[in-house]
Chains A and B, each alone.
Chain A
Amino acid sequence: MDSRTNIGRVRGLGSAKHGGEHWLKQRLTAVGNVLLTTWFVLSLFMIPSFEYGALAQWLAQPLVAVPMILMIANIFSHVKLGLQVLIEDYVHDEGLKFASMTLLNFYVIASAVFGIFVVAKLAFTGAPA
């Protein structure tokens, strides 16, 4: 028994107040993905040649490298949010869930950094001969 009010007894026991954040981020990155992947697919159709030299020069341009970097970052944020829900829904063992979440974070961050580095290096140093 305590003398606190009803609201005082339940305060702090509810959600962590972050419930909306994941949901909203998923939608925001989804909208970003619609724009960026539309750019990417249209670019693929318009690349004049898939010979190596032309392709490297295409990717090294600022107007291609920048949206490509944005697309990699945005997609992997969305991947993180999406696969997180998959793990939460299907992996019920607490230890396995923790391990899966850790691996997911490794996968997403390592992949995004790798992709961004590759594109940035090509853009900064120019297309190799």
Chain B
Amino acid sequence: MAKNPNRPLSPHLQVYRWSPQMAVSIFHRATGFVLATAGMMTLLWWLSAIGGGAESYATFVKYVVSAGTDGSGVQIASNWFFRLVALAVTFSFFQHLASGLRHLVLDIGAGYELKTNRTWASVAFVAAFFATAFVALFVASRFIGVL
């Protein structure tokens, strides 16, 4: 069946005004994708590095956590890359958790009144932001020694 590429399309994202309700929905998808790929691959690397013995864990630490004072350029660049990944994964975790809990409430048929729906969509973002900030500050002060 040949498709006609010139047929008219229904209006998409660009014609709608952004609202917390639609943002929380697309963020749920995007953060789920981040967790499913970057999040789980890093977790499996961490677990297998522990399972692999002290030497393999040292390699993980050098590339992901901290290269130390004698780290190579590649390792230091890799550290910064994984700090960004960690921040993205942490935010994604809390965002996906908050909007996921919201979805479970919506699934039982509650929370569809316009104001309530809007409020809890915003709460999901605010909760994810503060939880991420808390974890980032905790890690920065305890493990990286930035604060």
- A residues engaging B (CB < 8 A)? 27, 30-31, 33-34, 37, 41, 45, 50, 52-53, 55-56, 59, 68, 75-76, 79, 82-83, 86, 111, 114-115, 118-119, 121-122, 128-129
Contacts and interface: CB of A to CB of B under 8 A. Distances in A.
Nearest to B29: A86
The 5 closest A-B pairs by CB, nearest first: A118-B51, A79-B36, A128-B53, A122-B51, A52-B54
28 contacts: A27-B107, A30-B100, A30-B103, A30-B104, A31-B104, A33-B100, A34-B97, A37-B97, A52-B57, A52-B58, A53-B54, A55-B57, A56-B50, A56-B51, A59-B50, A59-B51, A68-B47, A82-B36, A83-B32, A83-B33, A111-B41, A115-B43, A118-B47, A118-B50, A118-B51, A121-B51, A122-B50, A122-B51
A32 to B, nearest CB: 12
B47 A75 contact: no
Contacts of B97: 34, 37
A119 B44 contact: no
Interface string B53-76: 110011000000000000000000
A93 to B, nearest CB: 10
A86 B28 CA distance: 12
A85 B53 CA distance: 38
Interface SS majority for chain A: helix
Interface of B: 29, 32-33, 35-36, 40-41, 43-44, 47-48, 50-51, 53-54, 57-58, 93, 97, 100-101, 103-104, 107, 138, 143
In this complex, the member of B35, B41, B50, B107 whose beta carbon has the largest number of chain A beta carbons within 10 angstroms is B50
A79 B32 CA distance: 8
Contacts of B138: 45
Contact of A76 (B40, B54, B104): B40
Contacts of B43: 115
Contacts of A75: 40
A109 B103 CA distance: 26
Nearest to B101: A34
B51 to A, nearest CB: 4
Nearest to B93: A37
A41 B138 CA distance: 13
B60 to A, nearest CB: 10
B143 A50 contact: yes
A34 B100 contact: yes
